[in-house]
Structure 1
Amino acid sequence: MKKKVGFYTLGCKLNYSETSTIARSFTSSGYEQVDFEERADIYVINTCSVTENADKRFKTIVKKAQNLNPHAFLIAIGCYAQLKPEELAAVDGVDLVLGATEKFKITDYLTDLSKNDRGEVHSCEIQEADFYVGSYSLGDRTRAFLKVQDGCDYKCSYCTIPLARGISRSDTLENVLKNAGEIAAQGVKEIVLTGVNIGDYGKGEYGNKKHEHTFYELVQALDRVEGVERLRISSIEPNLLKDETIIFVAGSRTFVPHFHIPLQSGSNAVLKRMRRRYLRELYEERVATVRRTMPHACIGVDVIVGFPGETEEEFLETYHFLNELDISYLHVFTYSERAHTEAEKMPDPVPAKVRNKRSKMLRGLSVKKRRAFYESQLGTCRTVLFEGENKEGYIHGFTENYVKVKTPWDPALVNTLHRVELTRIDEDGLVRFDFVSEKVTA
């Protein structure tokens, strides 16, 4: 009988794309993939290190796997596995920990599935992670995450990603286009471009540090791929989101009017301590350019609160800056100390209670911003891509500009695009609509 393997992914879209690629390598090696909730012979946990919470969740997931099958072989991969392999290896039940260069060769390590008293570590110095492995997620019929870039050359003072994933490097343009075509051939309607720093695309392509292609050239080429209905750009740094890209997206065939642009702080003093590569004035310009070319676009923002030394005045600078900015929603992160970062050693840490209070204020602002954005879209006609899950009798979907809608469950709507008129906001904050036309595509 085939050995069964289950996967659990923590963290970002990039991790999901890599888990999916690794899962396909198991299938091609003769294993049977099952849901993580099922009893399996092997469990693979793809870890994250961006937040303290992701670290803590690892042990919970290990226990869950042990409850499903106490004899299962447990493997940890991902960013946390690269940064703290010995720590993960010491967790009860973990048998194997693979670092950044080893995770894509995972099946080579499975000649012996006997349980170990302590996890076996196969890791590397992060400088060795200088090659590129392409990946994309499949399994969700509606959308796929397509990895185009990995690693980061930025040295933000709070971030462990360069330590966990290495230098910035990119897939070849030819391979990205090939992968996009393969995804489209599976009937997936939407592709989300992902990476650590996707605006840096082109660096490291063909094994060198120069840019063979720019992100703008990548976007232009992807727009011509046959069979792709929608392309969405995931998080992109404001200093790398160029006007030419924004203008191209505004008139493109497939790219949707949705940008997620990390800000991190609305205080220039804090941005400098964070070692970000822009000031708030540039960020404001980027938002203005998006609004000028695509008034209906959705703009999401990452922000960190409680960074070391953040005064009440600096936090209020951020709050008022965001309140006055024409954006659509926030992703709020409460700062947590990460080992081996410059910020960890900075003076004047913000007390936990103050961090939590500031997070709560910004999350409240996010609710207000999203509601205002949704209200601005009422009465407009949009195209909705419906998802595949029955959620308490409703099917959900997203418009091209990322308005979340719902309607009573109908399996015929799954993975179809429909033109609708947005009519009202329900009690749960989701938008209801009237159908304007029949299916846009099958």
Structure 2
Amino acid sequence: MRSAIRRTFLRRPSTLAERNFVADALRTETVGGALLLIAAVIALIWANSGWSSAYEDLKNYTVGPEALHLNLSLGAWASDGLLAIFFFVAGIELKRELVVGELRTPSAAALPVIAAVCGMAVPALFYFAVNAGGDSLEGWAIPTATDIAFALAVLAVIGTNLPSALRAFLLTLAVVDDLLAIMVIAVFYTEDVNFAALGIAAAGLVVFYLMQRHRVRGWWFYLPLALAIWTLIHESGVHATVAGVAMGLLMRVLPDEDEKTSPAEHLEHVVRPISAGFAVPVFALMSAGVAVSASALADVFTHRMPLGIVIGLVAGKAIGIFGGTYLAARFTRAELNEDLAWADVLGLAMLAGVGFTVSLLISELAFEGEAGMTDQAKAAVLVGSLLAAVLASVLLRIRNNKYRALVAEEDRDDDGDGIPDIYQQDADAARQEKLRHLDG
């Protein structure tokens, strides 16, 4: 018996249990954001080391079937292919918000949607103002994006006592922001469109929708179709990440009576670890490797194009999101969640200035073929995102401490009777009021 116990105690955990533990960890914003940050730091160190040529060689190494026009560099595979996985998860999140979440009613959806729109418009206006009369106006969309993974990771780390409504507000805002960013990419950063390929891809999306509606099950049906849709959209000239968000929006989010979970929830549960643990970190590794020197950092604050990006991310996002939310709550029927204060919204608005993933993607698209401009834009994204994260962290940490003090006060039990004193004080006050009334 003792030997059996010993064998059980010393037995190595099963591979399945280990995989489940890792996958569950990757589903948390903190771990996904940490991997994203680590990959970006590695890319920066690598690109600025003596092995920078090896980094460039890796990023430019081509692989893939040339007959399908998919003989792409690893950097292109990361931005076109792996980010499609990220946007697929974002599309599912948005679909869930539209059907059962914060966006299911117009009144509930109004504030985060208005915040997202204003949070994209104002940074673009700041960029135009700084670059007026210049030749870099094509970079206007770079400071308009919010990085879901990074922003939620920062909020998860520093906001342990912040209201849960703040996370829901940020998630809804960021998902809408990313959807709008994809629309911007499709409309403004697509030059030549192959309408035949795009039409066949649209037909494939219709088939995808019908399969969902008629409860077709089995990954062996969906995976080849998804790959075909992605390939066709890539061939059309529209950025291939559109395929990911489109299929995510077509997923069924309500479970049938015989289902424990909906297909959207099940697939998100499966795909999110791949997105957070592989797709997004690899994209960051391939995209964040910018040669940074003292002169390059100085260029960020002395050249109009990168300065416009930094101002857009740090000031434009904060002013746009906070101002849009306040004006909407002031002059429309939209209402701020009763659990939130305006100081919370300001901290969230500043945190939305972390534009990392999508901003890096747009930097590559806006200045395609202009390596110097692309590097300047990426350096500005890194600087702006870092400044926004630091400023937001300071404010949200102050708010978090305030909420923690409120929770501690509510839980205080000086007499040790197991009942928080605040409830006894209310009862005592009511009892005294009743006695005064009777005496009167």
Q: Shorter-chain TM-score: what band?
A: under 0.3
Between structures 1 and 2, the one with greater helix share: 2
Greater RCO, CA 8 A, separation 6+: 2
Which structure's CA Rg is the greater one?
Answer: 2
- What is the TM-score normalised by the length of structure 1? 0.27
Between structures 1 and 2, the one with greater strand share: 1
